[in-house]
Structure 1
Amino acid sequence: MEEALADFDGDYHQLMSHIKRLGGTDTDFTAVNRGARKEMKKGRNQVNLTDHEELSTWAEGYRQTKIQMEDLSDPEGDARTGFNLAKRLWGMLGWD
């Protein structure tokens, strides 16, 4: 479980650093968080920190978003794509 928590936080911070390196603004950070929230049906602060599968899906979503995001032309779309891929990889349909 500790590894899943570390990945959840670590991959989030890596994505935020990636956005910053691309010249991201507060608007871009907000768009990424909005895209993740739309795809996952909840925000980062609502993730069940005792659910290994949920934590791992979110961590994978951050990784996939970073891969998708070559520039800042569509940060919300990149996040939605990244988290959709993560759900497919982990076999999750999201949490309502």
Structure 2
Amino acid sequence: MVFLHSTLHGIEDKIGLVREVHALLAPGGRFAVVNWLPIPRELTIWLGLPRGPKQEVRMGAEATADLVLGAEPELRLERTAPLPPFHYGLIFTKDDGAIA
């Protein structure tokens, strides 16, 4: 399993990262992404201060799924989960290579 938390927005070569993760995963392996909701940073207040990246770089769950699945067709979206108050999570699974 590869777990990426609240950092995808800061990675310049996102497609390259997804391809590297795919290469690391064994068949049936999972790639979990937790990311910030695409809401203004000023609304993500924690302990009295705004948290997370600027809104311009935040990606919604659908955009993140499109990025991952577009970069690596052998990954499939297994699950999407809201992670209140400021995040969402996606779990992708690498195809096991079995012929259906």
TM-score, reference length from structure 2: 0.26
Higher Rg of the two aligned structures: 2
Higher helix share: 1
Higher strand share: 2
